[in-house]
Amino acid sequence: MMSVAARSGALAPYLHSTKHAVKSLVKPGAKDLAPAAAPGGIRLAHTDIKIPDFTDYRRPEVTDPSKSSQDSSDARRSFSYLFTGATTVVGVYAAKTVVTQFLSSMSATADVLALSQIEIKLSEIPEGKNMTFKWRGKPLFVRHRTEKEIAAEEGVNISELRDPQHDKDRVINPKWMVVLGVCTHLGCVPIASAGDFGGYYCPCHGSHYDASGRIRKGPAPLNLEVPYYVFSDEDTLLVG
């Protein structure tokens, strides 16, 4: 084991520093009480720290300490405005590009656009019958109405209807009734040539439509929607 003398010798520098520190507290200002040398583990002043030089990042107008920064404030302010304006223009253009790309990703795909219009041969639909087609992912009802159905629908008192519309306002040619097969209640698909009025019937919640696609009974609030369509010729119907 290390002797007491050896331990005292090893601790001598620290004991010496402690002694002088105590004396400096008792008799402040005594020159002879200052330690001649501090131990290696104690740093008395941060003289080895280098202060970074930011001269390369400063504007030339403010590097000279003998000149007032107020003299160059206008020039520096103009540069700041120019830089801010250029950054704003770039930011707006980038935002426009992002929005354009986002909206483009939400637009209809090529296969959907190809089905945006449908051409129907009317000679394939017998009188008094209804045929169902798929258009834009929805069922499309095309009905070849008889003279009796036309007369019955034109004679309906529109003041008694929930969604008042005259039959003439829903057709281009009275013989052809074109509506979307989507119930206006909850989007179910009605059954053609069914219901209390011989038009369309939705079995989901009991909505009854007449042969003009108008709601006559049940919870549906509106008539069946009539899409945009034209007659290319006497035998061709173009929907969309």
Which residues are marked as active site? Answer: 205
Q: Residue 96 — φ and ψ, nearest 5°?
A: -60, -40
CA 62 to chain centre: 46
Q: Under a CB-based contact definition with an 8 Å cutoff, are residues 35 and 17 in contact?
A: yes
Six token digits for residue 55 = 């001269």
Closest-CA residue to 234 (of 132, 135, 122): 122
Six token digits for residue 104 = 């483009």
Tell me the residue type at 95: A
Report the distance separating Cα 198 and Cα 188, nearest Å: 18
Q: Residue 41 — φ and ψ, nearest 5°?
A: -85, -5
Please compute, for residue 151, the number of CA atoms within 13 A of its CA located in the half-sphere on the CB side.
3
Q: Which residue has the tokens 């306002």?
A: 169
Cross-strand partners of 134: 139
Q: Under a CB-based contact definition with an 8 Å cutoff, are residues 223 and 184 in contact?
A: yes
Q: Which residue has the tokens 């709601």?
A: 215
